[in-house]
Copies of this chain bind each other. A is one copy, B any other.
Amino acid sequence: MPEHVLVVEDEEKLAGLLRDYLAQEGYAVSVLHRGDEVEDFVRASPVDLVLLDLMLPGKSGLEVCKALRAASPQLSIIMVTARVDEVDRLLGLELGADDYICKPFSPREVVARVKAVLRRARRGSAAPDDGLVLDDAGFKASIGGRDLGLTAIEYQLLKVLHAQPGRIFTRDQLIDAMYRDERVVSDRTVDSHIKKLRRKIEAVQPGREVIHSLYGVGYKYEW
């Protein structure tokens, strides 16, 4: 079954060019020209990767990217930007794109990036067996059968981190993911919960640090 790539690009010529190159590589390719059509399309079709222009009619690539990432954590997203200045680490992290391509680019370069991102996605999707079990029904997290005794927020935090091992989350991303309502909370609050989580994990399984800090960026789960 071929992997499915969705190209979102308002410039007809470029969209066609990308479609042809990607199709030639054996991908199933769909093309949309407006930003506001993307989310519905992704919901309806099994898309593996979205090639997303930053400037789009209907809805900006930034908004689309954010929405896609929120709805589909496993979806690969490559942003296409007109200028290299637009790419900064915080913006990229907040939006959750997997890679960037700056114009002007060669179609071959795009194909190479698409391949690389999909390869990474395939590798990363194999869930590592770390013995951690998350039980949504009872809000219980356990390691090796031993309950961690987490509170609701701690459980939520661990769940978000654990869903994508190795991915780094900023504090703001974690806050957004933990609270459905748009609650305003100091980002240092995350640190407090991280502290408690670490302590409870340590109590059950001493010596193994699974939550890592990345200076200036955020936190990640890694076994």
Binding site for B on A (CB under 8 A): 11, 13-14, 17, 84-86, 88-94, 96-100, 102-104, 106-109, 111-113, 115-116, 120, 125-127, 133-140, 151-152, 155-156, 160, 163-164, 166-168, 176-177, 180, 214-217, 220
- Kindly list chain B residues whose C-beta atoms are within 8 Å of the C-beta of A220: 138
Decide if B167 touches A137 in the complex (CB within 8 Å).
yes
Separation of A104 and B164 alpha carbons in the complex (Å): 11
Decide if B155 touches A89 in the complex (CB within 8 Å).
yes
Q: Among the interface residues A14, A137, A151, which one has the most CB atoms of the partner chain B within 10 A?
A: A137
- Kindly list chain B residues whose C-beta atoms are within 8 Å of the C-beta of A104: 89, 93, 100
- Kindly list chain B residues whose C-beta atoms are within 8 Å of the C-beta of A98: 106, 135-137
- Kindly list chain B residues whose C-beta atoms are within 8 Å of the C-beta of A166: 137-138, 140
21 A/B residue pairs, CB under 8 Å, sorted by A:
A11-B86, A14-B90, A17-B93, A17-B94, A85-B176, A85-B177, A86-B103, A88-B156, A89-B104, A91-B180, A98-B106, A98-B135, A106-B126, A112-B125, A113-B127, A120-B135, A137-B166, A139-B214, A139-B217, A151-B215, A152-B217
- Kindly list chain B residues whose C-beta atoms are within 8 Å of the C-beta of A176: 85
Decide if B106 touches A139 in the complex (CB within 8 Å).
no
Separation of A25 and B111 alpha carbons in the complex (Å): 31
Separation of A104 and B90 alpha carbons in the complex (Å): 9
A17-B94, A84-B160 as given contacts; A136 in contact with B100, CB under 8 Å: yes
A89-B104, A106-B98, A167-B138 as given contacts; A84 in contact with B177, CB under 8 Å: yes
Separation of A107 and B94 alpha carbons in the complex (Å): 9
Separation of A135 and B84 alpha carbons in the complex (Å): 17
Give the 5 A-B residue pairs with the shortest CB-CB distance, closest first.
A108-B126, A112-B127, A88-B180, A152-B216, A139-B168
Q: Which residue of B lies closest to A121 (CB)?
A: B137
Nearest chain B CB to A121 CB, angstrom units:
10
Separation of A215 and B152 alpha carbons in the complex (Å): 8
Nearest chain B CB to A66 CB, angstrom units:
14
- Kindly list chain B residues whose C-beta atoms are within 8 Å of the C-beta of A140: 166
